[in-house]
Structure 1
Amino acid sequence: MTDPRPGPRGPGRPATEVLSTPRLRLEPLTVGHAAEAVALLAAPSLYRFTGGAPPTPGELTDRYRRQGTGHSPDGTERWLNWMVRRVADGRLVGTVQATVTGPEPGRAAIAWVVGEADQGRGYGTEAVTAMRAWLARHGIDDVVAMIRPGHRRSEGLARRVGLRPSATMLDGERMWAARAYPAAMIERIAWATVAVADQDVMREFFVDVLGFEVRADAEMWPGARWLEVVPPGAETGLVLSRASDFGREPDAQYPVGLVARDLAGVVAAARARGLAATEPATESWGTSARITDPEGRELLVRATG
């Protein structure tokens, strides 16, 4: 991603504030972050698509001092910057930013960086989603990002946060954009449901074999449970509904497919539990495997990328 330039302020305009997600804390940028961020931005691989080189401590201090003002010298741009910190251990894992231009409420050009060691864990999506929600609360629904074609990680993240590629190209980068949408429009898919025979057996399959987390396990009415599992960091969950509670038969197939960073590991974990799993196979649309769950349904799992 290009580095649009940084985080806002100004008469009557909102300043950045601390944002929280289940795994992350987004802190408004200060010059004090520079020393800690040098290591975060030190990997040369981060500059493969954007150009440039890892900043020195002095360069980063000067950059953050400028960005910390919250606006361009001529006042035509508002700069919003957050440092992304992992709650579990307090370590910086990335940055997100928005440059707001134009008549109020303005258009936000957003960018993000996730440290090399923490990529592939959903931190970028989680942080950018929080920033987009903050922008929307302040009336900024017109959001764009400039991404160099072929930067698959950034393209994937852009899609996950609601941006789509446009025909506009600038300096070798494609504009990805999100249209403004009415506040009443549906925001996201919260869950999908599969009717199962035994909730406990299926909970063990998703948690112990596939690495899901239990988002909710609570009584809906006497004798019936709402059991929802979710991949770590994901927004959309899967509700394992007991079919007999609704006077029906268990579903014969899943309403969703899954994506895994380590497809071979998923296959091995399933086989270690005595479950059938096909060898990963590559088709025109990607590499995938089919896992047969304890009740006989096939679950399609595709490799990331």
Structure 2
Amino acid sequence: MRYRVTHSTHYRYAARVTSCYNLANVVPRDTKRQRCISSRIVVSPQPAVSRSRTDYFGNQAYHFEIQKAHKELVITAESEIHISDRDLDLNLDFGISYGQALHHLRNNRSQQTLEAREYLLDSPMIAASEELAAYAQPSFIPDRSLKSCVADLTSRIFHDFAYDPAFSTIATPLTEVLAHKRGVCQDFAHLQIGCLRAVGIPAKYVSGYIETLPPPGEEKMVGADATHAWVSYFCPDEGWLEFDPTNDTSASSQHIVTAFGRDYIDVTPIKGVIFGGGEAPVLSVSVNVERIED
């Protein structure tokens, strides 16, 4: 499967911004199931300084500085990605058990396992707690396959929590999401990651895009796709596997990965510092995920 993704971010300011310094995580990364064929980022006004680098997590980070006054800022990223059109085989009863996985994580000293254990630690937006462990625990039976445990937790979050864009912001604490059982994809990803870490399973935050398809007989609206978030957890015998609690599914060929991190803070699509700009800047985001011929 081959996709073209166009992600446009438009800021409008009430007053002039004299200069700004920004970091963008909008270039899809290579993974075991996807390859970024090409990517370009266009910024208006033109940056005085720009550079790309591979960050600590292996993501493609783009830094840019604008050093002249402006009242609008537009960042457009266009990428072509090839993704395996074979969805991951998820035989939930196959593989290492939860109990065996815990034993491996506690005792194995391979580089892969030691690096994975970093994702058991608390991160800026996710702290393991007794409440998270208590919510997760019914899914995690020692003799049950780890994959089945994680799939069960994914399904429980999908059914127990309501998708409510009006409830949360990027700063809403995980404790409130758990208490009110509402949120959006970012919240559900944070929740599942917190639950997994609380029961001893390393988990990452995945930032990316998901292709949305129109109802039968209707045309797809340009720009109607969205940024998305899901989770990746470490399975000692299979490596990192991805699940999407917002949609109660494993990651498929419609899930396009931009970046991995500990939580949203590590992989925010656009963040930075501005000087000036007045109050209440207006932000609009458009995402278009288009299938193209190989």
- Does TM, scored on the shorter chain, surpass 0.5? no
Q: Tell me the TM-score normalized by structure 2.
A: 0.23
Q: Tell me the TM-score normalized by structure 1.
A: 0.23
Higher normalized contact order (CA 8 Å, seq sep 6+, divided by chain length)? 2
Larger radius of gyration: 1
Structure with greater strand percent:
2
